[in-house]
Amino acid sequence: MNSGKIPVAAVRRLTIHDGPGVRDTVFVKGCPLRCLWCHNPESISAAPRILFHEKLCTGCGACMRACPNGVHAFTPEGRHTLNREACRLCGACVRACLFNALEICGVKMSVEELFTKLVKDRDYFVPEGGVTLSGGEPALYPEFVSGLFRKLKEAGISTALDTCGAVDFEHYRMILPHTDLVLFDLKGMDPERHRRNTGRDNALIHENLRKIAAFGTSVEIRMPIVPGCNDFPDDIEKTGRLLAGIGTLKRVRLLAYHSLAGEKYAAAGLENTMPEAESPDAAALDRIADVLRSFLPPDVPVLHD
Ligand code: SF4
Ligand code: SF4
């Protein structure tokens, strides 16, 4: 689809939450789903966007003076406002701000540029770490991802693809030969609830999960648990039945919902769609894990924090 440059939201170095071991994680921009609880809302659209971190802003006004398009203003009460529609992403305000309160999210990068950045951390990835591509949805860019993963593998670096599963399987067919592990996000089994929660039906997602396993690629399932959205007993049991048929399943990880990403919506100037829900407690996660374990072989762990 795109073999040139793709929009990158962030490169997070030396993480321990995006696959096994110590990893660098690349977050790309662009996603086919619209999950209500999205924790990376700045990555939903592929278009670059200016982010404003209000907590870091001192109100110095340097951005207002630097911007040629009048994007930044202050209310009489001193509140910093942005007219994002007028922003041309020139970066002048970002350069003028000494407090890191502004950034442009979605700088386009080439395979070569990303590889050069990632390979510097190679010594930290041993024994089982590596590079994870996440998002957004990296599988939207199959030529780019397969090209980057091929180079990483040639350099002896393990590769993982974090995917929502909602793209044509032909994209995965290009990427999987260079992928050691797929982190596959499962967000619910009931098609109607799934559509309400994510904007899309889940049939393609489940079909892709089965095809990825049939391809022979190792899979880690990642399940966000969002009370009142996807934690219903029938959903969990059906998930267990689906996972029982995934022969390359290595582990299942339950990701407890939390609303900490609220500030990210504000920084991107997007409507906060996150559900008003409490984080599930350890006992609730244990119950869900027990149900899933009852469908899985004993050597497939079901984990949660
Ligand atoms: S990126 Fe350029 S146009 Fe956009 S707000 Fe900053 S200075 Fe103004
Ligand atoms: S330059 Fe930075 S700190 Fe100063 S007003 Fe603008 S965003 Fe705030």
Which tokens in the block code for residue 144? 């780019």
Least distant ligand from the CA of 86: 1
Quick one: DSSP state of residue 281?
P
Helix pair 111-119, 142-154: axis angle to 10 deg: 40
- In this prediction, what percent of the chain has a pLDDT beyond 70? 99
Pairing of strands 72-74, 80-82: antiparallel
253's CB contacts (< 8 A; 6+ apart) are 220, 221, 222, 223, 302, 303, 304
**Is residue 262 over pLDDT 90?**
no
The model's pTM: 0.94
Second-level CATH architecture of 6-46+108-304: Alpha-Beta Barrel (3.20)
CA dist 298 → 66, 195, 243 (Å): 60, 32, 13
How far is residue 177's CA from residue 62's CA, in Å, rounded to a whole number? 49
Locus of tokens 């010594």 = 123
Cα Rg for the chain, rounded, in angstroms? 20
**Domain 49-105 fold:** Alpha-Beta Plaits (3.30.70)
Distance in Å, CA 140 to ligand 1 centroid: 28
Q: Whose CA is nearest to atom 6 of ligand 2?
A: 63
3-state SS, 115-176, equals HHHHHCCHHHCCCCCEEEEECCCHHHCHHHHHHHHHHHHHCCCEEEEEECCCCCHHHHHHHH
pLDDT band at 126 (very low <50, low <70, confident <90, very high): confident
Atom of ligand 1 nearest to the CA of 94: 6
Give the residue extent of every domain in the chain: 6-46+108-304, 49-105
Distance in Å, CA 48 to ligand 2 centroid: 20
Atom of ligand 2 nearest to the CA of 56: 3
Which tokens in the block code for residue 254? 């339950």
Which tokens in the block code for residue 218? 């190792």
pLDDT one-digit tens code per residue, 83-105: 999 999 999 999 999 999 999 99
Atom of ligand 2 nearest to the CA of 96: 1
Mean pLDDT, range 194-223, rounded to an integer: 97
Distance in Å, CA 1 to ligand 1 centroid: 30
Q: What are phi and psi of 18, to 5 degrees?
A: -120, 50
Least distant ligand from the CA of 62: 2
pLDDT one-digit tens code per residue, 147-193: 999 999 999 999 999 999 999 999 999 999 999 999 999 999 999 99
Mean pLDDT, range 287-295, rounded to an integer: 98
Pocket of ligand 2 (CB under 6 A): 57-63, 80, 96-97, 99, 101-102
120's CB contacts (< 8 A; 6+ apart) are none
Atom of ligand 1 nearest to the CA of 66: 7
Least distant ligand from the CA of 58: 2
pLDDT band at 259 (very low <50, low <70, confident <90, very high): confident
